[in-house]
Structure 1
Amino acid sequence: MKPKEISLSTPLKEEMPNEGKVVTIEPESYGDAHVGTSFETPVVKGAFKMSDKKKIEKISGHFKSIMETLGLDLSDDSLAGTPNRVAKMYVQEIFSGLNPKNKPKATLFENKYGYREMVVEKNITFYSNCEHHFVPIYGKAHVAYISTGKVIGLSKINRIVQYFAKRPQVQERLTIQIAEEMKRVLKTPHVAVVIDANHLCVSSRGVNDTNSETGTAIFDGKFKDEITKTEFLNFINSNN
């Protein structure tokens, strides 16, 4: 079942556990509460009709205005090209996963060996950006599946992780999107995803906590079995 979507334009009334009180969470606080989100990345209708060239042009102009508002001197050699560099970076690199045309094509192979145990790709490095503050999230993803007939090229697992990471994200959604794509591509319910990440919106601003990490996990199909789940967790936590 698709998770319920919550509008970001109106205050959210939330009941406090064990207290019977209802508090109002204003839209600007949704990010820290991680409630104003959904399974799908929120994009407007027709978001990809505009060419990348046009997007870069528009973003460059907007970012130039931001820099000028901050009081920066764009006639300085060091800053003159920054608006265009940032615009290209947004469209062609760190947010390129927004555009469906960049979705990786998964190469599948017949499971000729009859291998029926888990396949694990661990320590997949990824870089993303917090959609609440637009600052980096970085960490490691660990992905496993049990084949029901097909196997996937190992590098394609990395590409799936990178595709969904290269967009404004929340870690919970990133975990779900990777798991759902693995299940869709491989036509297997037996998928597990664990993500350990650092959020610069926590370490470089706000609470300024440089030591904490955030973990999320999904265990579906056979990975819901405690023995299989434990085997997977032991594997990704090993140093061998």
Structure 2
Amino acid sequence: MELLENNELGWHQADVEEERKQNSTPEEKIDRIESLFGEIMKELDLDLNDDSLQDTPRRVAKMYVNEIFSGLNEDNEPRISNFDNVYAYHGPLIEKNIELKSFCEHHFLPIYGVAHVGYIPNDKVVGLSKLNRIVEFFARRPQVQERLTVQIADYLQKVLGTEDVAVMIDAKHLCVEYRGVEHCGSSTITQIYRGRFEDPLEQRKFLELVK
């Protein structure tokens, strides 16, 4: 009985700790990451008293929270406003070569490349820059490219109110270039087609336009 109670208490403490972390402010997260990253540097026998290294844990922590992993903070979700499709345009609307910068969640090394995003409007459209911001929001977190592609497509369907979306990502992974096989010439392509873009003819049109 005592063991059961201890286990239950352990689970409760873990839940409380998890809730505390989720409710942490960005500054609190920065403080904790700074401390933990400093420990990593010490384990690597780096001298934290060195002029060029002493502020590195803080710099890395701020970079993680405020920049490269800022997409983990729901407060940074892009504000998307829909506009009436006043010109009754119902052809494909494509934003290509959207700069993509993310991080591989397996090795915490950069992913970089381009995203091509398209949709067929119904009664509503969005500002073109919002498509870029959607890509950026989901890219700025530890990712795998397949999930990133799906997340962008799901979000586009939600905010645009249309089933007809296409997303293609062509990216290089530094976890392939700098470790393991160490090949620099390859890139990874993922693509997803929904609604009318499932039609092979529409897919070919999309691929021709984003070449």
- 1:101 corresponds in structure 2 to 75
Point out the structure with max Rg over C-alpha. 2
- Cα deviation code 1:44-93 (max 9, x no counterpart): 66653001111000000000010011011111110010000000000000
Q: Distance in 2 between matches of 1:229 and 1:236?
A: 11
- 1:86 corresponds in structure 2 to 60
- 1:140 corresponds in structure 2 to 114
Deviation at 1:148, TM superposition (A): 1.2
Deviation at 1:231, TM superposition (A): 0.6
Secondary structure (helix, strand or coil) at the match of 2:24 reads coil
Letter in 2 for 1:194: M
Q: Which runs of 4+ in 1 moved over 4 A?
A: 44-47
Aligned with 1:51 (options 22, 25, 36): 25
1:126 and 2:126 matched? no
- 1:216 corresponds in structure 2 to 190
Q: Distance in 1 between matches of 2:20 and 2:156?
A: 26
Q: Distance in 2 between matches of 1:211 and 1:202?
A: 10
Letter in 1 for 2:61: A
Secondary structure (helix, strand or coil) at the match of 2:118 reads strand
Secondary structure (helix, strand or coil) at the match of 1:138 reads strand
Q: Distance in 1 between matches of 2:54 and 2:60?
A: 12
Letter in 2 for 1:83: P
Aligned with 1:67 (options 21, 25, 41): 41
Runs (5+) with no aligned partner, structure 2: 1-17
Aligned with 1:179 (options 153, 156, 170): 153
Letter in 1 for 2:129: S
1:151 and 2:125 matched? yes
> Could you say which structure has the higher helix fraction?
2
Distance 1:99 1:195, change over 3 A: same
- 1:161 corresponds in structure 2 to 135
Q: Distance in 2 between matches of 1:93 and 1:73?
A: 26
Root mean square deviation, CA, Å: 1.0
Secondary structure (helix, strand or coil) at the match of 1:163 reads helix
1:233 and 2:207 matched? yes
Deviation at 1:99, TM superposition (A): 1.1
- Cα deviation code 1:121-146 (max 9, x no counterpart): 00000110000000100110000000
Contact 1:122 1:236 in 2 (8 A): yes
Deviation at 1:101, TM superposition (A): 1.0
Contact 1:48 1:99 in 2 (8 A): no
TM-score scaled to structure 2, two decimals? Answer: 0.90
Aligned residues: 194
Q: Distance in 2 between matches of 1:170 and 1:182?
A: 19
Q: Distance in 1 between matches of 2:21 and 2:94?
A: 35
- 2:4 corresponds in structure 1 to none
Letter in 2 for 1:91: V
Letter in 1 for 2:75: K
Taking every aligned residue pair, what percent have the same amino acid on both sides?
54
